[in-house]
């Protein structure tokens, strides 16, 4: 048997399953490659740290992925379902359950324990996207509320995955999968399908092998089906049968039903494509202009003083947060709309992962015109030469009251 598509799908599935399990154990700059760290509320993404206040970037990324999915689905149909969906990959990886179902003793002795182990392994990897797998065992040994939550999550995930692998399997794809329900809205007459060629119906030998190998038990000869996951098992089977007659398969991948493809502008492709491209450009722009530290200036209005030389000083509270992956040495500069301004301190050291550091800053103005009663605005520039980034903040400077 040729089984061209079957072998290719298994290779793609093995790569995806290895990535799903292995990514939490992969470290970049000493941290997980991908993890949403619950205690610090930050997303670790291949060396980049996105903190809670920057989550609008994640929101734009989600919008991009949603429209990218819609765009690709309109073009390539359920190719994701048949080749890369974790439900399909896990069902393929545990295909021994399908063949062991009728052999009760073999199923009980080998099938259940193997499936339970696979469920636990996948559950640990899924927990690893929230808790570092290298800290999992020490956390459970230490005990406490966090350990109970993690242990409970592991048990629930393992049970859900075990029940899914043993009982649900392909039924999920054919019945309750929300992505499958979306197909009827997104598909058009030129979407990639696994289709039977209606122009060659007279060549069909009615062997029913395409129906026998279908994992979701649909008859591809009767047309497109909502439950079809486009795995092309039927195409492989038909290829083998037709080879004996020196003819090509009656079933295969096709952009629309063979002989029934439409023409003209594909409005849905155009709309989703434009939105996908726009959201990608906006996401790249946000990533490029993002500064890995944040600052808020909080004026302390009651702390205004006049010195003997005529200079006036205000104290501000600078609230800083380091959202980068390294310690930062920040330079602090100040200018004013009137007079000459200087600040103290002029440098601030901010450690990596600092939640909120509050630093008092003294701003002194000299050379102020005595007759100038206009409000004075100061501009604080906080910058780092390490990353060549600056943040500019403005604040009002409080002058002492005069009689």
Is residue 11 within 8 A of residue 115, CB to CB? The reply is: no
pTM of the entire predicted model = 0.73
CA 74/CA 82 separation, integer angstroms: 15
Is residue 180 within 8 A of residue 244, CB to CB? The reply is: no
pLDDT beyond 60 at 320: yes
Q: Residue 155 has what pLDDT?
A: 94
For residue 148, give every residue at least 6 positions away whose Cβ sits within 8 Å of its Cβ, in sequence order, or none. none
Is residue 352 within 8 A of residue 327, CB to CB? The reply is: yes
Residue range 299-307: mean pLDDT, rounded? 75
For residue 74, give every residue at least 6 positions away whose Cβ sits within 8 Å of its Cβ, in sequence order, or none. 186, 187, 188, 191, 266, 268, 269, 272
Per the structure block, which two tokens stand in for 198? 């209606």
pLDDT in tens, 381-396: 998 887 788 889 988 8
pLDDT beyond 80 at 87: yes
Q: What rounded mean pLDDT belongs to the chain?
A: 85
Is residue 110 within 8 A of residue 260, CB to CB? The reply is: no
Residue range 29-50: mean pLDDT, rounded? 81
Q: Residue 49 has what pLDDT?
A: 77
- Determine what percent of the chain is predicted with pLDDT higher than 70: 93
Which domains does the chain show, CATH number per domain?
1-290 (no CATH), 293-397 (2.60.40.10)
Radius of gyration of the chain (CA): 31
pLDDT in tens, 205-258: 889 999 999 988 889 998 888 888 899 999 999 999 998 888 899 999 999 888
């Amino acid at each position: 048997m040729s089984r061209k598509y079957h072998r290719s799908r298994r290779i793609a599935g093995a790569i995806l399953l290895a990535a799903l399990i292995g990514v939490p154990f992969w470290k970049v700059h000493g941290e997980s490659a991908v993890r949403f760290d619950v205690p610090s509320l930050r997303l670790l993404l291949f060396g980049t740290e996105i903190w809670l206040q920057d989550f609008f970037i994640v929101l734009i990324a989600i919008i991009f992925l949603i429209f990218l999915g819609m765009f690709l689905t309109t073009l390539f149909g359920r190719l994701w379902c048949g080749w890369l969906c974790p439900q399909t990959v896990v069902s393929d990886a545990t295909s021994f359950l399908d063949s062991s179902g009728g052999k009760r003793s073999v199923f009980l002795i080998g099938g259940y324990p193997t499936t339970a182990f696979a469920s636990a392994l996948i559950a640990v990897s899924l927990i690893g996207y929230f808790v570092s797998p290298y800290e999992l065992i020490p956390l459970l040994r230490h005990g406490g509320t966090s350990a109970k939550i993690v242990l409970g999550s592991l048990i629930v995930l393992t049970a859900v995955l075990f029940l899914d692998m043993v009982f649900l399997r392909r039924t999920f794809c054919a019945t309750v999968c929300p992505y499958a329900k979306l197909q009827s809205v997104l598909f058009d007459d030129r979407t990639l399908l696994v289709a039977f060629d209606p122009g060659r119906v007279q060549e069909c030998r009615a062997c029913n092998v395409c129906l026998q190998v279908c994992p979701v038990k649909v008859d591809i000869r009767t047309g497109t089906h909502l439950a079809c996951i486009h795995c092309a098992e039927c195409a492989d089977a038909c290829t083998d049968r037709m080879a004996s007659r020196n003819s090509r398969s009656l079933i295969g991948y096709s952009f629309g039903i063979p002989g029934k493809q439409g023409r003209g502008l594909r409005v849905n492709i155009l709309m989703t494509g434009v939105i996908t491209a726009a959201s990608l450009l906006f996401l790249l722009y946000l990533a490029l202009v993002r500064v890995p530290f944040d600052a808020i200036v909080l004026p302390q209005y009651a702390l205004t003083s006049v010195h003997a030389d005529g200079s006036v000083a205000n104290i501000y509270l600078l609230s800083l947060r380091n959202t980068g992956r390294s310690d930062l040495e920040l330079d602090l500069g100040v200018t004013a709309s009137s007079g000459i301004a200087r600040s103290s301190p002029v440098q601030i050291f901010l450690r990596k992962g600092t939640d909120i550091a509050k630093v008092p800053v003294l701003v002194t103005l000299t050379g102020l015109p005595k007759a100038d009663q206009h409000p004075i605005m100061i501009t604080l520039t906080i910058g780092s030469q390490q990353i060549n980034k600056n943040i500019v903040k403005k604040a009002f400077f409080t002058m002492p009251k005069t009689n």
